[in-house]
Chains A and B, each alone.
Chain A
Amino acid sequence: MRKGLILALSIVLVMAFSLGVMAAKKEVTIAGGSVGIELELTKKAAKMFEETHPNVDVKVMDTPDSTNDRLGLFLQFLEAESPKVDVYQIDVIWPGDLGEHFLDLYEYGAKDVADKHFQAIIENNTVDGRLVALPWFTDAGLLYYRTDLLKKYGYDGPPETWAELEKMAKKVQAGEREAGNQDFWGYVWQGNAYEGLTCDALEWIKSNGGGTIVNKDKEITINNEKAVEAVNMAANWVGEISPPGVTGLMEESARKMWENGNALFMRNWPYCYSTGNQEGKVINGKFDVAPLPAGDSGNGASTLGGWNLAVSKYTDTPELAVELAMFVAGEKIQKMRAIEGSFNPTIKSLYKDEEVLENSPFFGKLYDVFVNAVARPSTATAPKYAQTSELFFQAVHSVLTGEQSAETALAYLQLDLQDLLGYDVK
């Protein structure tokens, strides 16, 4: 009995001591994504922060790939007002919907750094005069194309219109199939029913002159001829130059098909540039990027993406969390991410940096694409953007799977949006 008591007491003492030692370290958690090599880079940034802050332990929380799933996870933390996560990686479309849960970074000295970033993104992240998130990286949809295959089939360069893209894709697909690659397809993109389809569909519609679903003046513009034409064009690709399974593809699954060498064109975000050029990849050195093709409007359109860092209102350590956010969104880390992961920086000066341009030359070539990217109507439809997007991508998805015609789908979409938002129709 006595021996047992002594043993129990010593265990308790050891635990208390170790807990005491652990309690001396402050903990801060950053919830980031793991698409491509995101997670590695975030962990690297966390390590660099820990080096300059020896008594801080930075935990990197992994989150789901799909932006909708990530939103679901974050909403649960925010509903519970949980101090578990201090810094959130939020999508460029969320500040309007979620702004009330984040700290105003202007109160923590963000004014000094705000000027360095792209003004458009800072404005996007400002809700009622409060800066709720720091821009971390920006994104715009790009057309990836196989330089070797285009050369093989006698083409000079990437297509400039959708019609050209279709022609090139048909020819190369037929040729490659004959040569024995049964799994080859012309064009892969994100066609699953989720936010990514909103991005792709917005690009088709805007490039064809069909507007941006809801315009800046809060008018519903989606039900027009050009938009119907654009969606029909995409629906015709399914099964012809795009696999029937494109209606289930997301960013990572499209990237896998592309990196296996089974696609001539891919629409995806810039991060695939560095992953495609990794050692051992089949397409290493055989591809390049270009702006997306134009439709009737004469200009290609590229959806503005990008992620930002926001600090939770419910954190236990606000100053530390803001410091972490500002460090990770700062110039040094953005440069590292640009070089190693081809993540577009949001700091203007980095676009003139030699090292950055050497690793991702398209940052300079496609600068205009990034600056002129078309934003999804998240500000015009706040705080109901998530539902607007859901109605839109479900309507487009039903056309892609052949369940509805584009005319019916967009007509119903207009009614649904009127019902949801209460806006007028243009």
Chain B
Amino acid sequence: MRGPSLRRPSYIEICKGGIFVSKKGMSDLAKQEEKLALKLLIPAFLILIIIAVYPLGQVFYASFTDKKFAGTEETNFVGFKNYDKLLSFTIKELPPKIDDETGKQVVDQETGKKVYKSPIYVLPRKPYLYRPINTFKLFGNKYVIGSADSKFISSLWNTMVFTVCSVLLETLLGLLVALVVNSEFKGRGAMRAVMLVPWAVITVVSAKMWEWMFEPSRIGLMNTIFEKIGLGNGNIAFLSMSKFQLPSLIAVDVWKTTPFMALLILAGLQLIPNELYEAARVDGANKVKQFFSITLPLLKPSLAVALIFRTLDALRVFDVFQVMLAQKRYSMASYNYFQLISARNMGKASAVGVIIFILIFVFAVMYIRVLGVETE
């Protein structure tokens, strides 16, 4: 049994405190109050069901059919076919390309690397056309991984890379900003207001604005700056070259969401009592030690909340990908959109939606376990 602790109650605990008490040893009055509480919650539950559960159920159902978006054909039930098409993958060995004359493996003149047969001949074409995603070497043989829906798998990869990089950068920068804004200095109030401006701008508007900044000629701000400092010649096509696409999008997202992270972390910082710092100073701890032994542990709950929010949001990223990259490179959500609009395949698009949902669910559960956010 935990005794009274100096630990600040976590955000989750504060929310939960009050209504739910352990069932054992409840008086009749308490039981009555509980029944009344449930009755009063019914309208809220109804609204939740209509607004959240019903559409979700529709998407689940549609993912098992071959419905066409804005089409008048009959919809048929196809079971798991959509999921099969999206997630099927295969691994095949790539035979080496043999030179007809020498009977030995061909070696590329320019790079000196051994040449293998092109995956297009090896990967199966029925029941789905498998496209190569990646190759790897094992025990001296080369293998190729083929996927039935390579665009979906690459959208999955894009989303993961985007999420990991942007959340990491946002948390670090947000922590920095929050620490700065937490200290006393003149104009602190104004700074706190100004800091929120990127978060306040609508994502589509800021994505469009950044798209103009990334314009591939000297009309774009980024190209002008890069040229002035000597990188590139003013013609870098940020949004068309695959090595610059994700970094550009991550930059936009970090710019937009760092204030949000800073705000959540600031709220956590404000709750740490100053006496702890004074006591530590008296004991002779320097700033760095204070940060790692006082600030960080006490900040863990707010960091946890901020991380959960941002990761779940980043996994669902749609606006920056749709506005800036359209059909050049997909995130899972923008792939979903284009399946709906271009292929008009509502069944497959719904399946993508369900996969995103499951992925986010898994992440949420994992976070709650790993970060030790207490649940009763």
Contact code string A57-92 (vs B, CB < 8 Å = 1, else 0): 000000000101001100110110000000000000
Q: Which of B125, B131, B237 contacts A248 (CB 8 A)?
A: B237
- Contact between chains at A193 and B327 (CB < 8 Å): yes
User: In the docked arrangement, what's the CA distance between A271 and B235, Å?
Assistant: 27
Contact code string B236-248 (vs A, CB < 8 Å = 1, else 0): 1101111000000
Which residues of A have CB within 8 Å of B253?
none
Contact code string A392-412 (vs B, CB < 8 Å = 1, else 0): 011001000101000010011
User: In the docked arrangement, what's the CA distance between A157 and B338, Å?
Assistant: 43
Q: Which of B72, B120, B239 contacts A408 (CB 8 A)?
A: B120
Contact code string B3-20 (vs A, CB < 8 Å = 1, else 0): 000000000000000000
- Contact between chains at A416 and B344 (CB < 8 Å): no
Given A100-B72, A248-B240, A416-B129, are A411 and B342 also a contact pair (CB < 8 Å)? Answer: no
Interface of B is mostly: loop
Which residues of B have CB within 8 Å of A66?
326
Which residues of B have CB within 8 Å of A415?
120, 125, 129
Q: Is A207 among interface residues, defined by CB-CB distance under 8 A?
A: no
Which residues of B have CB within 8 Å of A390?
327, 338, 342-343
User: In the docked arrangement, what's the CA distance between A194 and B217, Å?
Assistant: 20
**CB < 8 Å A-B pair total:** 91
Give the number of residues in B that approach A within 8 Å (Cβ atoms): 33
> Within the complex, what minimum Cβ distance (angstroms) separates B224 from chain A?
11
> Within the complex, what minimum Cβ distance (angstroms) separates A424 from chain B?
15
- Contact between chains at A411 and B120 (CB < 8 Å): yes
Which residues of A have CB within 8 Å of B328?
192-193, 397
- Contact between chains at B241 and A401 (CB < 8 Å): yes
Q: Is A150 among interface residues, defined by CB-CB distance under 8 A?
A: no
> Within the complex, what minimum Cβ distance (angstroms) separates A315 from chain B?
16
Which residues of A have CB within 8 Å of B239?
248
User: In the docked arrangement, what's the CA distance between A390 and B326, Å?
Assistant: 12
Q: Is A244 among interface residues, defined by CB-CB distance under 8 A?
A: yes
- Contact between chains at A412 and B120 (CB < 8 Å): yes
User: In the docked arrangement, what's the CA distance between A243 and B234, Å?
Assistant: 10
Q: Is A183 among interface residues, defined by CB-CB distance under 8 A?
A: yes
| Chain A residue at smallest Cβ distance from B343 | A387
Which residues of B have CB within 8 Å of A253?
215
- Contact between chains at B129 and A419 (CB < 8 Å): yes
- Contact between chains at A193 and B72 (CB < 8 Å): no
> Within the complex, what minimum Cβ distance (angstroms) separates B294 from chain A?
49
- Contact between chains at B342 and A68 (CB < 8 Å): yes
> Within the complex, what minimum Cβ distance (angstroms) separates A81 from chain B?
9
User: In the docked arrangement, what's the CA distance between A196 and B101, Å?
Assistant: 46
Give the number of residues in A that approach B within 8 Å (Cβ atoms): 40
> Within the complex, what minimum Cβ distance (angstroms) separates B322 from chain A?
9
User: In the docked arrangement, what's the CA distance between A247 and B237, Å?
Assistant: 8
In the complex, chain B residues 320-367 whose Cβ is within 8 Å of any chain A Cβ? 326-328, 337-338, 340-344
Q: Is B174 among interface residues, defined by CB-CB distance under 8 A?
A: no
- Contact between chains at A245 and B343 (CB < 8 Å): no
- Contact between chains at A78 and B216 (CB < 8 Å): no
Which residues of A have CB within 8 Å of B128?
419
Q: Is A375 among interface residues, defined by CB-CB distance under 8 A?
A: no
In the complex, chain A residues 363-399 whose Cβ is within 8 Å of any chain B Cβ? 386-387, 390, 393-394, 397
Interface of A is mostly: helix
| Chain B residue at smallest Cβ distance from A248 | B240
- Contact between chains at A194 and B72 (CB < 8 Å): no
Q: Is B69 among interface residues, defined by CB-CB distance under 8 A?
A: yes
- Contact between chains at B326 and A101 (CB < 8 Å): no
- Contact between chains at A193 and B217 (CB < 8 Å): no
Q: Is A119 among interface residues, defined by CB-CB distance under 8 A?
A: no
Q: Is A182 among interface residues, defined by CB-CB distance under 8 A?
A: yes
- Contact between chains at B242 and A401 (CB < 8 Å): yes
User: In the docked arrangement, what's the CA distance between A261 and B120, Å?
Assistant: 45
In the complex, chain B residues 71-90 whose Cβ is within 8 Å of any chain A Cβ? 71-72
User: In the docked arrangement, what's the CA distance between A183 and B337, Å?
Assistant: 36
> Within the complex, what minimum Cβ distance (angstroms) separates B40 from chain A?
31
In the complex, chain B residues 176-219 whose Cβ is within 8 Å of any chain A Cβ? 215-219
For the A-B complex with A101-B72, A257-B217, A419-B125 known, give 14 more contacts whose Cβ atoms are closer than 8 Å.
A71-B342, A182-B234, A183-B217, A192-B326, A239-B235, A244-B237, A245-B237, A247-B240, A253-B215, A387-B342, A390-B327, A390-B338, A408-B120, A411-B120
Residues of B within 8 A of A (CB): 69-72, 118, 120, 125, 128-129, 131, 215-219, 234-237, 239-242, 326-328, 337-338, 340-344
List 24 A-B pairs, Cβ < 8 Å. A68-B327, A71-B341, A75-B340, A79-B69, A79-B70, A101-B70, A182-B218, A182-B234, A183-B217, A183-B234, A193-B326, A194-B326, A244-B216, A248-B237, A248-B239, A253-B215, A386-B343, A387-B343, A393-B327, A394-B327, A401-B242, A408-B120, A419-B128, A419-B129
Residues of A within 8 A of B (CB): 66, 68, 71-72, 75-76, 78-79, 98, 100-101, 182-183, 192-194, 239, 243-248, 253, 256-257, 386-387, 390, 393-394, 397, 401, 403, 408, 411-412, 415-416, 419
